[in-house]
Amino acid sequence: MDPLTPMITTNPFDDDKLREECGIFGVSGADTASAIVALGLHALQHRGQEAAGITSWDGHDFHTHRAMGHVAGNFDRDEVIRGLPGGSACGHVRYSTTGETSLRNVQPLYAELNSGGFAVAHNGNISNAMKVRRELIRRGSIFQSTSDTEVIIHLVATSSYRTLLDKFIDALKQVEGAYSLIVMTPEGMIACRDPLGIRPLVMGKLGDTIMFASETVAFDVVGADYIRSIDPGELVIVTNAGEIRSHRPFGDVHPRPCIFEHVYFSRPDSIVDGSSVYSVRKAIGAQLAIENPVEADYVIPVPDSGVPAAIGYAQQSGIPFELGIIRSHYIGRTFIQPGDKVRHLGVKLKHNANRALIQGKKIVLIDDSIVRGTTSLKIVQMMREAGAAEVHMRIASPPTKHSCFYGVDTPERTKLLAHKLDVGGMQDFIHADSLSFISIDGLYKALGEAKRECGRPQYCDACFTGDYPTTLTDQDDVVVTDQLELLAERVA
């Protein structure tokens, strides 16, 4: 993929949220592996709605079905599942953080290598993919997609190591950035996580069947038990005979998992790195109330992501929790507005004020984040039009000032409201009576850490702090190129 590809927005109502990355799910040792994977992908649909795919292995051949759109409608038909036979399967739901939106980029990606078939499902983003891709093309590789994931396949194919496992490890040591991977080969299934553990990956079990997923909620749906998280830098191999082996080729690692999984991305009924997402979000709301109190009649969440934090804020502050905004669940990402006037009014199709409740009241709105600020502006305006006496905004994360290059689709930095304005300027922009964010140390406290240690942060919090845990080779190359082009223009 080209990590600089512009954000693709299929629903302008949702363009003020950080995009979920992708979701992956793998099953090894089941009678109907692809059917289980399809169910698991349903539970992970929130992580990607543009496309979905499943690849299975029947002991002799690999079978793949990929399609644009949701899991439902593409994988709920018997003939599709019958076309994906075998005891092992892996699947992927996609939101394109890089690369174009087209069927050739839909995962799992599959290739025939010298050692046999190789299928891979990837959650994350390779931050040196462009540089590696250019070198591979120079050496004769031919790419079939614009996906950064394909870089891994070519690195495996061209590795000089003897065994497939060593080739795979060799490939991983040449890439930077974030990845959780599920790989299928004729020898078995491999699940791995990058050395920093930026993207999540968990392991589950149903009888003798081993499963891997982006979130534990996928196990709940299929009736499997959650075993543990895959450790940062760990490779777990499940052979066709059911043997499980763990490899740690990266030595000592200092994990920095994505802090935004706890704030927004993961479903509240998931367990992330051993913690209940729902409980953490309530704790974030409580800490937000401690740091940023206000006198009000009601605490109101911006649905749905603001609900747990709003409950925590209400419990800590003693202000009653109420549903002052009602969300319609029938407005999808593909809704198209026919004109600017309808676009402006469109937020009311998804969110509508509970006028009878909030008229004449002082309210505290709780949301998970502010990105561009356009949705917050519309929500505050809606509350005022419904008669709210005062509208105070409280955000369950620090200001989002920096772009993510690890598999989360964020606007370029210049379009982030917190990059352009301080908190006072943001408050004026959204027309709130007050606006406050949880502090970065407060967020860490809610996650069970004393504070953010500047020398070695426990999480990847680069979207808030600009402290990126890896080098950003492709981004640095672009900056240098831009500077050289600017210099050439000045000389001319």
DSSP 45: G
Per the annotation, the verdict on 192 as an active-site residue is no
Q: How many CA atoms lie within 13 A of 340 on its CB side?
A: 0
Q: At 299, phi and psi to the nearest 5?
A: -100, 125
DSSP 413: G
Nearest Cα to Cα of residue 22 among 2, 41, 3, 1: 41
Q: In one letter, which amino acid is 410?
A: T
Q: Angle CA(292)–CA(296)–CA(297) in degrees, nearest 5?
A: 145
The residues facing 272 across adjacent strands are 275
How far is it between the farthest Cα atoms of the chain?
A: 73
Q: At 21, phi and psi to the nearest 5?
A: -80, -90
Q: Angle CA(23)–CA(113)–CA(240) in degrees, nearest 5?
A: 65
> Which pair of tokens denotes residue 385?
């039009």
User: Choosing from 22, 90, 192, 404, which is the catalytic residue?
Assistant: 22
Yes or no: say if 167 and 161 are a contact pair by the CB < 8 Å rule: yes
Q: Please tell me the distance from the alpha carbon of residue 291 to that of residue 301, in angstroms, as a whole number.
A: 18
Yes or no: say if 476 and 321 are a contact pair by the CB < 8 Å rule: no
Q: Please tell me the distance from the alpha carbon of residue 362 to that of residue 461, in angstroms, as a whole number.
A: 33
Q: How many CA atoms lie within 13 A of 192 on its CB side?
A: 26
98-134 burial, b if ≥16 CB within 10 A, otherwise e?
A: bbeeeeebbbbbbeebeeebbbbbbbbbbbbbbbbbe
- Beta strands 22-28 and 209-213 are antiparallel
Q: In one letter, which amino acid is 97?
A: T
- Rounded to 10°, the helix 149-158/164-172 angle is 130
State the DSSP string of 372-407.
Answer: SSHHHHHHHHHHHHTT-SEEEEEESS----S---SS
**Catalytic residue numbers?**
22
